[in-house]
Amino acid sequence: MYSLLLAFFTGLAAVAAAPDELQVVTTAGPVIGHYAKNGNLTIVREFLGVPYSRPPVGELRFQPPQPPTPWSDPVVAANFGASCWQSPFEVGLIRQPPPSRESEDCLTVNVWAPSKSRATNGGAAVMLWTHGGGFAWGTSETNMYNGANIVRDHEGVIVVSYNKSRLDRMREGDSYSCFSRLNLFGFPAAPGLNATQLNPGLLDVRRAVEWVWDNIANFGGDPHKITIFGESAGSAAIDAYLYFAKNDPIIRGAILQSGAITIPSGSGGEPSRFGPRTMNWNNLSAAVNCPISPAATNLECIRKLPAATLFNATARYNISFAPVADNGTIFSDTAHRLQRGNFARVSVLIGSNDQEIPGASPAAVNATLTGFTCPAAKNAAGHAKFVPTWMFRWFGDFPTYPGAPSLGPYHGTEISNIFGTFNSAIATSEQIASSKYVQAAWVAFAKNPTRGLARYGWPTYNPYRPTLVRLAVNNTAKASFAMPATYHSAC
């Protein structure tokens, strides 16, 4: 109660004190931001934890996301997200108590926008970040994804990030801070659901894009200039988006870092590595004593159970959920669609890292090749026939990485360089320069997806010409252009 009162009075104080440019009206209601604390205190506006969807709870559990319920008292975008997430469940790597029902509500966005004094004619380009979550999942990642430095260091760009469902399964020991719309909540594949909406977690991506379309102008952005970028499972989600949102993508560019939606073609929508489509759901139903049929009764039974009970069962019985083909959000014939150009015709930047899986062992090299290099290469080659396409390979190996110096340019190491959020206290001048170089490239793409990178000096991708953009080779702050076969010949 005390903290509620405190939040209330803090809210009133914020309303009274906030400069006009920190008060923004969204389609659902007003929000109040603050200036980001990264250097100059008044050039970057920050709005955290703004709901982009109605909480997917109760009857809405497993359903496509809905626009947020309107509010009239301003949401203080400094605290709303934070208080929501700073629950005891997030702390530490040991198993935490099960989360409360409210934890299903995790669909919020963060916006980093330039101050009005830096407004650009026609509105800023928008970079919408889609996080992954395969490796460490903790509070340090939140800082890694902070968009304030990009907006501080470049004119005419806004960064938006959002919490979406993770594509990979939740492991015991993972943070429970945003388990909703991931795992069973995001990828239930329940027989009782609409057959083309078995992956509501992917529809959350669409909802976030729509939120940006509806609202970004009020933050100084141009809704016609949205680029979506993401890494790992976030990149895979974007890849899926390019197919299922093909007729009305809203975005005009996509950046895919180390992740692709590689559902085996011709598998009938039942990717072998995940087991038969409904097995996990039926396992879960059995574990929580819900009848498996009829499907509607089954769904009703599971909807009534507390989220904690369901999550607990998945953890206790080691039941995992991942995206399945449903011909609505993921298509069984994705490979053919790629060949035929049956995807959103927007410019793409696609790539992966030199040593996604650390180490020089044959198994590690093979895992990097088959898990990341080849999916990215196939994706880039397919897109290059239809849309402006660039392909990169990241080599930067810097002491700020967890596990450095022995692990190399592994999965996710490019992210802190793109965001400029590495630990500057231990960064080398090479890293600072390399970060500036790649960050400017990503921004150049976002500002002009058809020509920005050409002007930056990068060739568009052609599998048969030296057009693979190697970044930070030997930790130098530049690009060099290699024959793709140098890295892709075994694909």
| Binding residues vs ligand NAG (CB under 6 A) | 40, 42-43, 48-49, 81, 85, 90, 98, 108-110, 117, 142, 161-163, 177-178, 268-269, 279, 283, 308-309, 312, 316-320, 325-327, 332-333, 366, 370, 473-474, 480
Residues near 18 by Cβ (< 8 Å), separated by ≥ 6?
32, 33, 34
Nearest CA to 219 out of 80, 128, 116, 127 is that of 116
Q: Which is nearer to ligand NAG, 117 or 272 (CB)?
A: 117
In the complex, minimum distance from the CB of residue 388 to ligand NAG, in angstroms, rounded to a whole number: 25
In the complex, minimum distance from the CB of residue 330 to ligand NAG, in angstroms, rounded to a whole number: 8
Task: Report how far residue 210's alpha carbon sits from residue 265's, in angstroms, rounded to the nearest whole number.
Answer: 30
Nearest CA to 346 out of 289, 398, 389 is that of 389
The residue at minimum Cβ distance from ligand NAG is: 269
Task: Report how far residue 92's alpha carbon sits from residue 94's, in angstroms, rounded to the nearest whole number.
Answer: 6
In the complex, minimum distance from the CB of residue 299 to ligand NAG, in angstroms, rounded to a whole number: 18
Q: Which is nearer to ligand NAG, 204 or 239 (CB)?
A: 204
Q: Which is nearer to ligand NAG, 178 or 381 (CB)?
A: 178
Q: Which is nearer to ligand NAG, 133 or 253 (CB)?
A: 133
Q: Which is nearer to ligand NAG, 98 or 466 (CB)?
A: 98
CB 445 within 8 A of CB 452: yes
In the complex, minimum distance from the CB of residue 451 to ligand NAG, in angstroms, rounded to a whole number: 26
Q: Which is nearer to ligand NAG, 282 or 347 (CB)?
A: 282
The CA-atom distances, in angstroms, between 414 and each of 258, 434, 485 are: 10, 10, 22
Residues near 141 by Cβ (< 8 Å), separated by ≥ 6?
131
* DSSP assignment string, 383-426: HHTTS-EEEEEE----TTSTTTTSS-S-TTTTHHHHHT-S-TTT
Q: Which is nearer to ligand NAG, 180 or 448 (CB)?
A: 180
Q: Which is nearer to ligand NAG, 198 or 387 (CB)?
A: 198
* DSSP assignment string, 94-118: SPPPPPPGGGG---EEEEEEE-GGG
Residue 326, classified by CB atoms within 10 Å of its CB into exposed (0-12), middle (13-18) or buried (19+), is: buried
In the complex, minimum distance from the CB of residue 177 to ligand NAG, in angstroms, rounded to a whole number: 3
In the complex, minimum distance from the CB of residue 268 to ligand NAG, in angstroms, rounded to a whole number: 5
In the complex, minimum distance from the CB of residue 328 to ligand NAG, in angstroms, rounded to a whole number: 9
In the complex, minimum distance from the CB of residue 450 to ligand NAG, in angstroms, rounded to a whole number: 28
**23-26 β-sheet, strand order:** 23-26, 29-32, 75-76
Q: Which is nearer to ligand NAG, 316 or 385 (CB)?
A: 316
CB 107 within 8 A of CB 52: yes
In the complex, minimum distance from the CB of residue 86 to ligand NAG, in angstroms, rounded to a whole number: 8
Residues near 255 by Cβ (< 8 Å), separated by ≥ 6?
227, 228, 229, 230, 238, 348, 349, 350, 442, 445
